Structure 1
Amino acid sequence: MGTLWSQERPPEEGQPTEHSRWWARARRLIMAVLLLGLLLGSSVLLFYIFRSCGPPLSLSPTGSCEMPMCLHLLDHYLASGNTRAAPCTDFFSFACGKEKGTSNSFQSLAEENKSRLRRILEAPGSWHLGSGEEKAFQFYNSCMDTSAIETAGAGPLRQVIEELGGWPISGNWTSLDFNRTLRLLMSQYGHFPFFRAYLGPHPTPPHTPVIQIDQPEFDIPLKQEQEQKIYAQIVREYLTYLNQLGTLLGGDPGKVQEHASLSISITSQLFQFLRPLGQQQAQGKLFQIVTIDKLQEMAPAIDWLSCLQATFTPMSLSPSQTVIVHDLDYLKNMSQLMEKQLLSHRDFLQSHMIFGLVGTLSPALDSKFQEAHTILNSKMGSFYKAGLIPAHPRWMKCVEDTGDFFEPTLAALFVHEAFSPSTQSAAMDLFTAIKDALITRLRRIPWMDEETRKKAQDRVTQLQVKMGGPEWAMDPALARQEYSDVHLGPSFLQSFLSGIRSRQARIIQSSLRPFPHQSDSSGPWGVNAYYSITDHMVVFPAGLLQPPFFHPAYPRAVNFGAAGSIMARELLHIFDQLLLPGGCPACDTHALKEALLCLEHHYAAFPLYSVTSFNSSLTVLENAADLGGLAIALQAYNKMLLWHRGETTLPKLGLTPQQLFFRSYAQVMCRNLSTQDSQDTHSPPTLRVNGPLSNIPAFARHFYCPRGALLNPSKRCQLW
C-alpha cells in the first residue's frame, strides 16, 4: 500500500479530477449547513435577549388569564370602577367610584364568607351524630325555626326577668340587692350595663391576659359633639322604643313611660362622663393599673371583687389582684351616680338594667321585639349621614351566633371548605416574598440607627405567622367535640343564653393555659388581619385570603397588590412604637419628625369630598402603614418579575400587569365615604388610595401622569 501511495502523482494545476470535485461540493454543503445553524442559533439568542429587554409577554393577548375565577374578578372590577374618572387626579374614583355608590370590599367579602358558612350549616346530613357538629347544626336550625320562637312569644324572656328579681313596671318585683342583679347580668347573661369587663393582653411584656375595665357600649348612638336638635330627636325615638319593650312585656303604659324616661336620663348622664379617645391620648391616660381593692375605694357603688369573680370563674381573684382600667374618671363618676340612684330610685335602676338586657337579647326573641329594634336602628340611622348597618336577614344573624358559640367546630369546617393546602402554600409564598422585601428595605431606612435596624430585622425574622386558621382547626376530631356545657332548649332564648355562658367559659379557660393564645374575634371566616403584640404574630384568616383579594390562579399582580399590601401593612405595625414621640431615642429623631411631617402635609393636599368627621390626629400610624405597605408590596412584586417570566393580566380591562397591581391595591380600600367614623384610626378611603399611590413614582410612570398632577407631586415622603 505504501508503494502504491508513493507512486501516485498529484493532479496538475487547473485540471481537477473527479475525486477533488466531489470533495469541493461536500465542503460547500458542510459550510452551508454550519452557516445555517449559526444563523438559527443567533436568532434564538437574539430573541431571548430582546425578550428580556422588551415589554413582558403578558402584554400580548395570549397573556390574559381566561380562567373562571379571573373572569369573575374582571366582572367585579368592571362593576366597581369608573373608567371616566382620571386616574392621575382621583384613583379612588377610578377604581371604586361606580355610579350607584361605593361598596365596602371587606364587608362584601365578610358577607360572602357568611354565605359559605350558611351552605355548610344547611348541608343535609353532613354532621356526625352525637358530636359538637350535631349540636352546632341543631342550634342553627332552632335559630331559623321562627315559628317555634313566635309560639313561645315573650314567655322565655319573662322567665329570665323573674330570675333577676322581676320588673317594677310589671308589678311582680322583688327588691334584690343591686350588686346581686349586676353580678347575674354580667356572669349569666353577658350584659354589662355600666361598664365593660373582659380579658385582654397586658400592655407591657409578656402581655399575659388580664381583666380590663372599659367604658360601656350604649344601644343609643349618642356622640360627643351633637346638635341639640338631633339629640332631642334621638331621645324621642329611643323613648318610643323603650315604651314598646315595656308594653310587649305587659307593663302599664303610664308606668312604662316613667321608667323609660328615667332609664334614658341615666344613659345620658353616663354618656356625659365619657372622655374621647383623643383626649385620653393627649393626657397620657389610655389605661391605669390598679388593684381591685383600690378600685373598690375609688368607685365603691360596685362590689368589684364579687362581680368580677362571678364573671371570670374559675379564675381565683383577690383584693390585691391588679386590673387594667381605661377611664378611671368615668368609673368614679359612674359610681357616684349609682349611689345617688340607689338612695332615691332603686326601682328605676332595676328597670334601666332590664331595658338594656332586653335590647341585648332581642335577636333571640320573637318578631315583635326584633321589629322594634330594627325600626330603632332605621330611625337612628336617618339622623346621621353615615347611617347604620342595614338590618341583616335572619339566616345571617343565626350564622353569626352559631359561629360565636361553636367557633372550634365551624372553624374546622370552614378552613376545610375554603382554604385548601395549595391555597395555604401559595399564601405562605406570598407572605415570604413580602417579609423578605421588608427585611431588605429596613437596610436603607434613613432615620434608623444601625442598632435599631438590626433589632428591627431580628423582630421580622422572629415573627410568627398564622395563615388561614389555628392549627387545631385542621384536626377533624376537634370539629366533633362535645360542648357538654351547651344545653339546647327548651326555648331558643335558653339555648342562646347557654351559648353565651359557654363562650365566656371557653375564653377564660384559654387564658388560664400555660401559654395562652389570643383567640380570633371572628373565627377563620373573619376578614381582618392583625398583628398580635402578645404573641409577636401576624394573623391572616382564611376568610381574608379569598377572592377578590387572593387566589392562587390570579395574576400575580392582583395577589401582590391586594393581599400582599395587606400583609406588608400588618408587618409594619410591628414598628408602631418607633414612630411615636420618644419611641426611638437612638434614631435620627430630626429625620423621623421631618418624614412624619411630610406625611401629614402630603395627605393634607388631597380633598376630603363628603367626609366631615375625619380626625387626622388619630391616623398617623395607619397612614404610615398604608404608605409603607404599598411600597413594600411593589418592591416584592418587582423582584418576583425578575425571577418569574410570563406574567398574566385580566382580559378586556386594558391594564398592564403593573397598572393591575395598583388597581388591585385600590380595590382593597373601596368603601362608602359616608361611613367614616370620627374615632376611626384610618384615614378616609379616598386618602388611603390616593395618598400612598401619589407617593410612589412608579404609579405616575405607569399611568403616564403629567408632572404636577395630584397623584404625581413634585415632592414625596421618605418614611419607609
Structure 2
Amino acid sequence: MKTKALTRLMLGAGALAIAVPTIPVIAGVVKKAPAKVAVAKARYGAFGIDLTAADKSVKPGDDFWTYANGSWAKRTAIPADKGGVGYGNILSDEAEANVRTILTDMAANPAAYGATGKQVGDYYASWMDQAAIEAKGTAPLKPYLARIAAVNDLTGLQTLFATTGYASPIDVGIIPNLADPTHYTAVVGQSGLGMPRDYYLLEGAKYDGFRTAYKAYIKQMQELAGIPDAGAKADAIFALETAMAKEQWSPEQSRDIAKLNDPETLAGLKAKAPDVDWALMLKTAGFDNVPTVLMANNTALTAMGKIMVATPLQTWKDYLAFHFVSDHAGFLPKAFDDAQFGFYSKTLGGVQVQRDRWKRGVQLMNGALGEAVGQLYVKRYYPAASQAKMAELIENLRTAYHERISSAAWMDDATRKAALVKLAAFEPRIGHPDKYIDYSSLRVDRNDLLGNVMRSGEFQHQLELSRFAKPVDRTLWGMTPQTVNAYYNPLANQITFPAAILQPPYFDPNADPAVNYGAIGAIIGHEMGHGFDDQGSQFGPTGKFENWWSPEAKKAYSEHTAALAAQYDTYEPVPGVKVNGKLTLGENIGDLSGIENAYEAYQLYQAKHGKAKVIGGLTGDQRFFLAYAQAWQSKSRDDRTRQQVLTDPHSPAKFRVNGVVRNFDPWYKAFNIQPGDALYLAPEKRVHIW
C-alpha cells in the first residue's frame, strides 16, 4: 500500500516548498528601531526583518524578491549537502537538531523513556550502527529478493505489486470518500517510475544525460546486489519504465479532481482494465469485498494492465528486484547508499555531499515513529503562548476572508452564501494533534535495520486498514509536530500548522505585528485560500466533492484563474524551463489569496490596536510586504529547481513573491511602483481573487 503517494495525488502538497523534501524580506537599510520599541527582542533585526538582506541597488518595482533578499543571496552559498538554502531550511535544521537530542537520549537510555522510548531509541541506534550494517553486507536483502525470484506467474507478480515494500505500476491505498468524506474508500492510481515522468519523455541533451545516468544506476544497483547480467536487465527495465511513463498522466493532469473521481465497482475495474486481477490485488492489500474503489488515473491504469501482460515476466521480476534494492539502499552498506545518493541527489538534484548520517536518521525516525518523537518535541520545544497568538491570527484571517468574499463583485449572492458557509466551517489545528499514534505493536530490533524499515511499513499499512471500516477520524494529522510546513485538507476542510513552523521568521511573538501578518499571516491565508482554489473550490463545507458554484460565478472565477496561469507560464527560473501555470495554479491562487487576506487582516488589527507607526524608516505596509518577501528567502541549485518546475505544484520562491505582489494594488502604493517598472501591470491586467 503506497497511500502517501495517493494522498498527495488527491490532496496536494503542503504550503511550503523547501529544498528537502519540498517550501518556503526585506528592504532598504535605514535607522535602527528605537530602543523603546517593544519588539526589540525579535529574532531577526530590531523588529523581525533582517534589513541587511536587502539589495538597495535594485528597484522594488523591477524585482521585489531581489530588492528584499538580494544581498542575502549574494553572500549565501548553498551548502554542499543541500539542494537549496533559505529560512525554511534554517528552521528544518533547528528542528532536526532538537529531534536529534531526543533521539540520542533515547538511544543511550531507552529504558528511561518507557516502551515507546525503547522502540525509538533502538530504531535510531540500528540506523546509526554503520559497522553492523557493513558487516551484514547483502544478507538482509536475501529473503526479499528470494520472494521475488519465486514468482512464476502473473498471480505471484500482482501479489507482490499489492504488498507493502515492493514497487508497483499500480498503487493501492485509502483516502476519505469524495462523495462521503466521513468514511474511507479504497483508491488505486498510477505509480512505479524511478524518475519523474517527464524525465523519460523530454527531448534535449540534459534529459538524454539523465536517462543515460539512470540506466547506469540501474545496472550499478543490480551489480552491488550480486544480480547477474545487470547491463541487459538495466536496458529492459529502463524500456519498461519508459513505456509506463508514456501512458501515465502528467502532474498537471493529475490535479484534475473531476477526472480523478472515478468510483468503480469490481466489475467496473475489470471492464476498464481487464488485464489486472483486481480481486487479487485488493484482497492482498486488505480490501476484501469493498463495494467501490476510486479509480484515479483510469486510462493510465488501463494501459498499465496492457503493459503488464505484454512484458516478459522475467523483466518484471528484474524490475521488482532493482527497485527493492534501490528503494532500500539507504539501509544497506555504504556502497549502496552512496550509489543512491549519487544518482538521485547529485545527478538529478545537483547536491554535492551526502547529508550527515544523524540528519538522515532524524528524517527516518520522523517517518517511522514520527508522532512518538513529536510528542516529546512538543513538550520540550513548543511554547504554549504560540497557540493563543496563532488562534488570534487565524480568526483575523477568517474575518478578512468573510469581508472580502462578501464584497467580491464577480460572485453572485447564492455562491457567496455557500462560500461563507464553507469559510465558517474551516477547522484550524495548531501545534500538535490532541492524541498521538500508539506504536506499541511495532516490533523494533536494535540489530535489524532493514527489518525495522519493512515492519514499520507494514505497521503503517495495518494501521490504515484498522481505520478503513470506521468513520474517518478528523483528529488525525498528516504531518508531525516537528515538520516545518502546513497544509489544507479539502476532504475535511481543515487547515493544519505544526509546531515547528510557528517560529521566526514565519511567526515571532516578539516581532512587529506587520511582520507576523506578512509572514505567518500570509501562510495562514494561503492555506485558507486552498479552500477556494481551483481544486479546493470543488469541495463543500464538510469536505464532500460537490459543486456549490453557480455557472456564472464559476465562469468569472475561471477567467481570473486562467489569467493568473498565463502570467506564470511566462516565468523562466532555469534557462529553457518555464513554470507550468496549470500545474502550479492551486498554489499560486493560495499565495495570492493569502497575501490579499493577510493584508486585510492586518488592517483589522490596526483598526483595533491603532495605526502602525513608522519603524526603521518603514511604514507598516512596507514592513508587511517585506516580511512576506523574507518568508520566501530561498535559493536552490538549477537541477533542483528544474525538478521542482517539472514535478512540484509550488512555483520557485522568487515567483511566489514577484508573481504575487505585482497583482496586488496596495503593494504598488506602498513602494510607489510606476509604469515602466519591470513588474508593473496595468490595473486591468492585475488578477484579483478576493
TM-score (normalised: structure 1): 0.79
Q: Residue type of the partner of 2:104?
A: E
Q: Residue type of the partner of 2:673?
A: C
Picking from 82, 87, 102, the partner of 2:55 is 82
Picking from 200, 203, 206, the partner of 2:175 is 200
CA contact (8 A) 1:82 1:93 kept: yes
TM-aligned CA distance change 1:485 to 1:350, over 3 Å: same
Percent of aligned pairs with the same residue?
A: 23
1:348 aligns with 2:294: no
Residue equivalent to 2:279 = 305
Residue equivalent to 2:499 = 542
**How far off its partner does 1:84 sit?**
2.7
Residue pairs, 1:136-535, within 5 angstroms: 136-162=120-146, 164-166=147-149, 174-184=150-160, 186-187=162-163, 189-206=164-181, 208-223=183-198, 225-227=201-203, 229-252=205-228, 255-279=229-253, 285-312=259-286, 315=287, 317-318=288-289, 321-341=291-311, 345-378=312-345, 380-381=347-348, 387=350, 391-473=354-436, 481=438, 483-488=440-445, 490-517=447-474, 519-535=476-492
Q: Residue type of the partner of 2:131?
A: S
- CA deviation map 1:493-524 (0-9, x unaligned): 11221111112222332343333337444312
**How far off its partner does 1:719 sit?**
3.1
**How far off its partner does 1:61 sit?**
5.0
CA distance in 2, matches of 1:601, 1:182: 43
CA contact (8 A) 2:485 2:498 kept: yes
- CA deviation map 1:416-464 (0-9, x unaligned): 2232221111111111111112112222111222232233222222221
Name the SS for the 1:261 alignment partner: helix
**How far off its partner does 1:582 sit?**
8.4
Residue equivalent to 2:10 = none
1:633 aligns with 2:598: yes
CA distance in 2, matches of 1:58, 1:649: 11
Q: Residue type of the partner of 1:111?
A: D
Residue equivalent to 1:28 = none
- CA deviation map 1:286-331 (0-9, x unaligned): 342222343234434433222222223xx5x22x631112222222
Q: CA RMSD in A?
A: 3.3
- CA deviation map 1:29-67 (0-9, x unaligned): xxxxxxxxxxxxxxxxxxxxxxxxxxxx99755326332
CA distance in 1, matches of 2:33, 2:258: 54
CA distance in 1, matches of 2:360, 2:611: 45
**How far off its partner does 1:380 sit?**
3.1
CA contact (8 A) 1:58 1:649 kept: no
- CA deviation map 1:641-666 (0-9, x unaligned): 2322596888xx65343322111111
CA distance in 2, matches of 1:465, 1:281: 24
Picking from 652, 658, 663, the partner of 1:690 is 658
**How far off its partner does 1:594 sit?**
5.5
Residue equivalent to 1:96 = 69
CA contact (8 A) 2:662 2:668 kept: yes
CA contact (8 A) 1:158 1:249 kept: no
CA contact (8 A) 1:531 1:537 kept: yes
TM-aligned CA distance change 1:132 to 1:105, over 3 Å: same
**How far off its partner does 1:348 sit?**
2.8
Name the SS for the 2:501 alignment partner: coil
**How far off its partner does 1:367 sit?**
0.6
Q: Residue type of the partner of 1:269?
A: A
Q: Residue type of the partner of 1:640?
A: Y
More off after superposition, 423-432 vs 500-509: 500-509
Residue equivalent to 2:99 = 117
Picking from 671, 677, 680, the partner of 2:645 is 677
**How far off its partner does 1:568 sit?**
1.2
TM-score (normalised: structure 2): 0.83
CA distance in 2, matches of 1:348, 1:326: 26
**How far off its partner does 1:710 sit?**
4.1
CA distance in 1, matches of 2:490, 2:352: 30
TM-aligned CA distance change 1:340 to 1:103, over 3 Å: same
CA contact (8 A) 1:117 1:414 kept: yes
CA distance in 2, matches of 1:61, 1:410: 40
CA contact (8 A) 2:570 2:578 kept: no
Residue equivalent to 2:18 = none
CA distance in 1, matches of 2:575, 2:54: 19
Residue equivalent to 2:24 = none
Picking from 608, 617, 630, the partner of 1:643 is 608
How many residues in Structure 1 have an aligned counterpart in Structure 2?
633
CA distance in 2, matches of 1:295, 1:582: 26
Q: Residue type of the partner of 1:573?
A: H
Q: Residue type of the partner of 1:286?
A: L
Name the SS for the 2:395 alignment partner: helix
CA distance in 2, matches of 1:706, 1:161: 65
Name the SS for the 2:509 alignment partner: coil
CA contact (8 A) 2:176 2:491 kept: yes
TM-aligned CA distance change 1:492 to 1:605, over 3 Å: closer
TM-aligned CA distance change 1:520 to 1:391, over 3 Å: farther
**How far off its partner does 1:595 sit?**
4.2
CA distance in 2, matches of 1:117, 1:589: 46
Q: Residue type of the partner of 1:634?
A: Y
Query: Is the radius of gyration larger for structure 1 or structure 2?
Result: 1
- CA deviation map 1:619-677 (0-9, x unaligned): 44433332222121112112212322596888xx6534332211111122333374141
